[in-house]
């Protein structure tokens, strides 16, 4: 009798434990909240990623001042950072000389990856961020990312989490990055996570929040991969974003798609003038932008027409009442 109770108890604990182990978790934009206002990835963001992905090795291409490297060093067992500029490399060697877990490498990122990847056996988080970035940085190509992804593919690393920074600079070629990642592992989930793209394999059992799914569909629309209806539905999800995810999205300080999404949220809030102004600016060039990085004019015009119609209707409804109308005060 006692044994059967013990057995039932063990089965119960096992069921709870195994369901915990196999349960899926959700990647949310708000997990990157503390990166905003800084140019480096924050330790809190790494902690959030580690809870989801169980990664223990961090590889960064493009060290620059080493601020992200420094935050990673306090979290990951093993850190590799690669820099093409000799001056920045030397500064990083000096900064991290007391860190047993940090390896600073000099050279072109894809060449160094070629050398170090074969000996790395633990689960990797790649932070692919090598490109010219002003100051005393170096490099003259925005295409380095494709060489890096090719080296990951050649090394058959199919279980890593891959993060690509500054996706705004890739404009419509973001889908080339996604395709190169899917060539590494066709089962990867690829998501637009603010100004970062993240890809991870299915065995991580991680879901995307509805907002991340919607941003990804909206961001890739110019490639005509989805029909307009699907994209407008996704953008309704963006319009209705709430809580910390909404705050995080609004705080992304760039133009292009980020301004476009802010405009959608403003429109849903009934702030027509502010929304209109932001829609108009959302395909303007950004400081970093080699080209036009926002949505196509036809996409923007669709929303501008919607605002114009809403304004006409509101004016019609209110003129008889003789009230003074401030359109930005009206919430739908
Ligand atoms: C945007 S910064 C990196 C910022 C850094 N990862 C961080 O999170 O703080 C880009 C860096 O990449 C370096 N770089 C440019 N091309 C490179 C290449 N082919 N290989 C390695 N580093 C490169 C630049 O010198 C610059 O320091």
Q: Which carries the bigger pLDDT value, residue 307 or residue 133?
A: 307
- Please state, in angstroms and as integers, the Cα–Cα distance from residue 192 to each residue in 64, 104, 108, 166, following that order: 24, 29, 26, 11
Axis crossing angle, helix 297-319 with helix 256-268, rounded to the nearest 10: 20
Residue 44 — very low, low, confident or very high, per pLDDT cuts 50/70/90? very high
Tell me what the pLDDT averaged over the chain comes to. 87
- Least trusted range by pLDDT, from 104-108, 185-189, 323-327: 323-327
Residue 26, pLDDT score: 96
Determine the residue of 39, 62, 116, 132 to mutate for testing ligand 1's pocket, defined as the one with the most ligand atoms within 8 A of the Cβ atom: 62
The predicted structure's pLDDT at residue 320: 60
Which among 249, 239, 254 is positioned nearest to 32, based on CA atoms? 249
Tell me the backbone φ, ψ of residue 199, rounded to 5 degrees. Answer: -130, 140
Ligand 1 center–CA 178 separation, angstroms:
21
The DSSP symbol for 168 reads G
Composition of the chain by helix, strand, coil, percent to 5: 55, 10, 35
Please say whether the beta carbons of 200 and 206 come within 8 A: yes
Residue 140 — pLDDT band, cuts 50, 70, 90?
confident
Per-residue pLDDT, 21: 45
pLDDT digits (tens, 9 = 90+) for 298-319: 889 999 999 999 988 887 777 6
Whole-number Å distance, alpha carbon 146 to ligand 1 midpoint, is: 15
* Cα 79 to chain centroid, rounded: 21
Span from the CA of 65 to the centroid of ligand 1 (angstroms)? 9
pLDDT higher for 331 or 222?
Answer: 222
Candidates 131, 142, 143: which one to mutate for ligand 1, based on the most atoms within 8 Å of Cβ?
131
Reported CATH class of domain 30-208? alpha beta
Q: Give residue-wise pLDDT tens across range 237-258.
A: 999 999 999 999 999 888 889 9
Q: Which of 250, 303, 243 is nearest to 276 (CA)?
A: 303
Partners of 206 in the beta sheet?
Answer: 25
Nearest CA to 268 out of 299, 240, 303, 308 is that of 240
The closest of 88, 174, 194 to 137, measured between CA atoms, is: 88
Give the integer Cα–Cα distance in Å for 78 and 101. 5
Q: Output the CA 99–ligand 1 centroid distance in Å.
A: 20
**Confidence at residue 27, expressed as pLDDT on a 0 to 100 scale:** 97
The pTM for the full model equals 0.88
| Ligand 1 atom at shortest distance from the alpha carbon of 137 | 25
Measuring CA to CA, which residue among 6, 1, 124 is closest to residue 55? Answer: 124
**In this predicted structure, what is the pLDDT of residue 15?**
44
Is the confidence at residue 13, as pLDDT, over 50? no
Spatial CB neighbours of 249, under 8 Å, sequence gap ≥ 6 = 29, 194, 211, 215, 238, 241, 258, 261, 262, 265
Q: Give the model's confidence band at 4: pLDDT under 50 very low, under 70 low, under 90 confident, else very high.
A: low
Q: Are 294 and 284 in contact (CB under 8 A)?
A: yes
What is the per-residue pLDDT across 18-39, written as a single tens digit (0 to 9) for each?
444 445 699 999 999 888 778 8
| Averaged pLDDT, 43-54 | 95
**Separation of CA 86 and ligand 1 centre (Å):** 12
Nearest CA to ligand 1 atom 1: 133
Asked if residue 92 lies in contact with residue 110, where contact means CB atoms within 8 angstroms, the answer is no
Of ligand 1's listed atoms, the one at least distance from the Cα of 60 is: 6
Distance 48 CA to ligand 1 centre (A): 24
Residue 144 CA: nearest ligand 1 atom is: 19
pLDDT higher than threshold 90 for residue 223: no
| Across 287-305, average pLDDT | 76
Which residues does a 6 A CB cutoff place in the pocket of ligand 1? 39-41, 60-64, 67-68, 82-85, 88, 108-109, 129-133, 137-139, 144
Helix 297-319 and helix 272-281, axial crossing angle in degrees, nearest 10: 160
Residue with CA closest to ligand 1 atom 13:
62
Could you tell me the distance, in angstroms and rounded to a whole number, from the CA of residue 35 to the centre of ligand 1? 18
> Does pLDDT of 94 surpass 80?
yes
Q: Is the pLDDT of residue 62 over 60?
A: yes
Structure confidence at residue 135 (pLDDT): 74
What is the Å distance from ligand 1's center to 132 Cα?
6
- pLDDT at site 6: 55
* Spatial contact of 62 and 41, defined as CB atoms under 8 Å apart: no
d(CA 24, CA 21): 8
Ligand 1, atom 17: closest residue by C-alpha: 130
Give 328 or 10, the one with higher predicted confidence: 328
Residue ranges of the chain assigned to CATH 3.40.50.150: 30-208
Q: How far is ligand 1, taken at its centre, from the CA of residue 190, in Å? A: 23
């Amino acid at each position: 009798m006692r044994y059967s109770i013990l057995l039932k108890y063990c089965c119960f604990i096992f069921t709870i434990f195994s369901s915990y182990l196999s349960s899926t978790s959700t990647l949310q934009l708000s997990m990157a909240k503390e990166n905003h206002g800084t140019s480096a990835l924050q330790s809190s963001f790494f902690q959030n990623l580690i809870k989801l992905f169980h990664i223990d090795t961090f590889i960064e291409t493009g060290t620059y001042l080493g601020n992200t490297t420094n935050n990673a060093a306090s979290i990951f067992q093993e850190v590799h950072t690669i820099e093409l500029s000799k001056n920045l490399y030397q500064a990083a060697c000096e900064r991290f000389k007391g860190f047993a877990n940090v390896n600073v490498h000099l050279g072109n990122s894809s060449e160094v990856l070629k050398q170090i990847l074969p000996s790395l056996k633990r689960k990797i988080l790649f932070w692919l961020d090598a490109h010219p970035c002003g100051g005393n940085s170096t490099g003259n190509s925005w295409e380095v990312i494709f060489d890096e992804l090719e080296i990951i593919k050649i090394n058959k690393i199919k279980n890593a989490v891959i993060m690509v920074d500054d996706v705004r600079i890739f404009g419509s070629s973001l889908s080339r990055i996604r395709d190169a990642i899917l060539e590494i592992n066709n089962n990867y989930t690829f998501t637009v996570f603010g100004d970062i793209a993240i890809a991870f394999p299915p065995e991580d059992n991680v879901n995307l929040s509805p907002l991340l799914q919607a941003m990804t569909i909206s961001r890739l629309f110019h490639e005509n991969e989805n029909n307009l209806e699907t994209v407008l539905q996704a953008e309704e999800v963006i319009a209705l974003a709430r809580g910390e995810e909404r705050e995080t999205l609004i705080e992304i300080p760039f133009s292009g798609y980020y301004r476009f999404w802010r405009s959608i949220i403003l429109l849903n809030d009934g702030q027509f003038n502010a929304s209109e102004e932001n829609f108009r600016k959302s395909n303007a060039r950004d400081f970093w932008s080699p080209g036009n990085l926002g949505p196509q004019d036809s996409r923007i015009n669709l929303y501008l027409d919607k605002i114009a119609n809403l304004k006409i209707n509101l004016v019609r409804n209110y003129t008889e009442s003789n009230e003074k109308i401030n359109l930005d005060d009206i919430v739908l």
